[in-house]
A and B are shown apart, each in its own frame.
Chain A
Amino acid sequence: MKLEAKNVNVHYGADHVLKDINMSIKKNTVTAFIGPSGCGKSTFLRTFNRMNDLIINCKVGGEILIEGVDIYKDNINVNELRKTVGMVFQKPNPFPKSIFENVAYGLRVNGIKNKKIIEDKVEQSLKQAALWDEVKDKLKKSALALSGGQQQRLCIARALAVEPSILLMDEPASALDPISSVKIEELIYSLKSSYTIIIVTHNMQQASRTSDKTAFFYLGELVEYDDTRTLFTNPKKEKTQKYITGRFG
């Protein structure tokens, strides 16, 4: 689905954390948000599924349009929105349930009761998340017994099971070892054909490897937004140049 941000401003109390952000994101692409800590990239990511609603004192201004519909309008059902816009968090956060129940959770809260449908969907989601072969024999085991990388892929499977069309990933590999993080990157690449993905990352190589477009944020402003290759090889702004060459941040 197509995403568009128009004059987005976010305030946390008196702090102006996002300033006049305008951006449009095409369907079935991977977009990376980069920038130093506190630049607002995660906050911006969380405007797309309204996770910022959970923060008291957080005010979002402007428009976030998904397929032309402003998701901050009063008549928007936030729960339905979040089924369309899935999210994977920085730290793997599987529920203290079995592997199977973790993936089935989203289906169950959607009111799906048919055992066969749930089983098929769980298997399909775990396969999509490249985890099926590792867990197919221990689906009833606790998800907390999996390794960090497996837990994160489980969380991706859990998000995919609800059939979102947009997937938000907030530094999905930052808490993982190098091998696990390569697996996540490969996964992102393979999901691109059917999902619109936005990934927040601190890791510039990761951004350049996985994404089609990259946005560089600094102090709440969108400094530069371009094709990933252009942004990394020929940035137009000096700040971007300095950041991607590691001179600050």
Chain B
Amino acid sequence: MNLKETIIEKLLLACSLITILTTLGIIGVLAFETLRFFDEVSLGDFFTDTQWTPAFTDKHFGIWPLLSGTLLTTLIAIVVAVPLGLTISIYLSEYATPRFRSSIKPVLEILAAVPTVVYGYFALTFLTPLLQQFIPGLSGQNALSPGLIMGIMILPLVSSLSEDALYAVPKSLKEGALALGSTKFQTAWKVVVPAAFSGISVSIILAISRAIGETMIVAVAAGNQPIFTFDPTIPISTMTTYIVEMTKGDVPHDSLEYKTIFVVGITLFLLTFILNNISFWLKKKFQETYE
């Protein structure tokens, strides 16, 4: 019996170690190839150069074109998802009847279950032509359309998690506000939302994180032209699309181009890692206020 327990314990430990080792392995590989990349390219060039042209004869390795592409599409997605998601969550938690709330939430979450490649083609073949009727200068591939679609994709992340946070605000606070004569909207906006602030921030940060890492939508509809720009109407390249393009082409193993995949990968990883840590920290703070 005791031996059996020990074996089970060790087995469980081994399983959990697999995930840790995998993570460490990924970071290790990324770090290793990144270090070799920086043997050939200086850190200064990487952070200050505004051109990214590893495949050209005149090679430049500035991360800004890819970073601006990622930030631009993410920003567009957030501009769509945060106001809309927050409005939906306030409506669901403060206004909707319990029945409506419990039936609409799963429907919203379906948005997150749509395969991203479907979203990508939707952006490319439906939204972009539609937008071109209003914005004549819009290219066939651009940051705007996939950014908007990405906003729809991360919408349930914002609305659902924010709604959970709003719903968790003690009923006594809402009653206190209403008893002072504040309207439903004042109660929601001035008491419930601030009380759920940390939870809402966490949902937004997770949504940003998701948008930064999103690959398929931008790969299909945003193009692949690393240009340092914040113009949403022209083709751009995000960090993720760059990696996709490089890995599907036949880049010689161990070449400098090959190593760029890893250096872009680790930049991406660091961005989402920092964001996740911020959200973790916020969550911890949140739990302190409302034990």
Contacts and interface: CB of A to CB of B under 8 A. Distances in A.
B175 A105 contact: no
B136 interface: no
A123 to B, nearest CB: 18
A86 B180 contact: yes
A234 B196 CA distance: 52
B249 interface: no
Nearest to A49: B179
B180 A96 contact: no
Interface stretch (A32-40, A77-85, A211-219): A77-85
Contacts of B83: none
Contacts of B186: 109
B180 A54 contact: no
Contacts of B194: 95-97
Nearest to A161: B180
A109 B224 CA distance: 51
A131 interface: no
A199 B98 CA distance: 32
B130 to A, nearest CB: 42
Nearest to B187: A109
Nearest to B174: A54
A113 to B, nearest CB: 14
Interface string A156-175: 00110010000000000000
Nearest to A144: B289
A109 B170 CA distance: 20
Contacts of B98: 56
B234 interface: no
Given A105-B190, A144-B289, A95 B176 contact: yes
A24 interface: no
B177 interface: yes
B178 A158 contact: no
Given A82-B181, A159-B180, A162-B181, A93 B190 contact: no
Interface in A57-93: 79-83, 86-87, 89, 91, 93
Nearest to B181: A83
Contacts of B289: 96, 144
B180 A109 contact: yes
A80 B181 contact: yes
Interface of A: 49, 51, 54, 56, 79-83, 86-87, 89, 91, 93-97, 105-106, 108-110, 144, 155, 158-159, 162
Given A87-B179, A93-B172, A96-B194, 6 more contacts: A82-B178, A86-B179, A95-B195, A105-B177, A158-B176, A162-B180
Which 4 residue pairs of A and B lie closest in terms of their CB atoms, listed nearest first? Answer: A83-B181, A87-B179, A93-B172, A82-B181
Interface of B: 97-98, 170, 172-173, 175-183, 186, 190-191, 194-195, 289
12 contacts: A56-B97, A86-B179, A89-B175, A91-B172, A95-B176, A95-B191, A97-B194, A105-B190, A106-B180, A109-B182, A109-B190, A162-B181
